[in-house]
Structure 1
Amino acid sequence: MSEQEDILKFPCRFPIKAMGMNSIELDIHVVEIIRRHVNDLHEGAVTSRPSKGGKYTSVTVTITATSKQQLDAIYQDLTDSPLVLMAL
């Protein structure tokens, strides 16, 4: 088991944050990507917040993560997206 797997006990609640240019498409796109890997998103799982200047938006989706492989796949898809500038 890796050190990260020792820290996270699956299943667990896990916030995923993606940042990109401020647009409604970003929210929709991030949720679509995460839904590929997560069967059920709970009500209130998605929040977004614009930057102070309004140029960027951060979208946070809190999921119930089931494995490190699931998280790795989500982050890979998010970072592969041209709309996502950064994923945390």
Structure 2
Amino acid sequence: MSDDTLLEFPCDFPLKVMGRKADDFATLVTGLVESHAGPGPDLRVSERLSRDGNFVALTVVVRAQSKSQLDAIYAELSAHERVLMVL
């Protein structure tokens, strides 16, 4: 375990990604995550709409291999113009 994280890798790590409701938002987010984590059955996605249906919150559970991988995923998601927030 590294000194700069309490996580032990590999581990399942949930990412909450929020944006405006669009038919392709989940595809966009999973594509960005898969560019760092690779495609595969380890990626689980659940979706929740806002009360008025204007926004969507995706929870993407990824099998993270390292802190640097998570940092890269967060950086790419946060930089995308259609992503409003990443937790």
- Is 1:60 aligned with 2:73? no
1:7-26 CA-to-partner distances (Å, cap 9, x unmatched) read 21111010111100011221
1:23-54 CA-to-partner distances (Å, cap 9, x unmatched) read 12211110010010112432670111101111
After the TM superposition, which of the residue ranges 62-71 and 35-44 deviates more from structure 2? 35-44
TM-score normalised by structure 2 residue count: 0.90
Matched residue, 1:29: 28
**Paired residue secondary structure (1:57):** strand
Matched residue type, 1:76: A
* Structure 1: stretches of 5+ with no match in the other structure: none
Task: Give the count of matched residue pairs.
Answer: 85
Give percent identity, aligned residues only: 36
CA contact (8 A) 1:41 1:63 kept: no
Q: Quick one: distance in 2 between partners of 1:40 and 1:83? A: 21
Q: Which has the higher helix share?
A: 1
Matched residue type, 1:48: E
Matched residue, 2:70: 71
1:62-83 CA-to-partner distances (Å, cap 9, x unmatched) read 1111111000000000011011
Q: Quick one: distance in 1 between partners of 2:11 and 2:84? A: 26
Matched residue type, 1:13: D
Matched residue, 2:11: 12
* Structure 2: stretches of 5+ with no match in the other structure: none
CA contact (8 A) 2:9 2:65 kept: yes
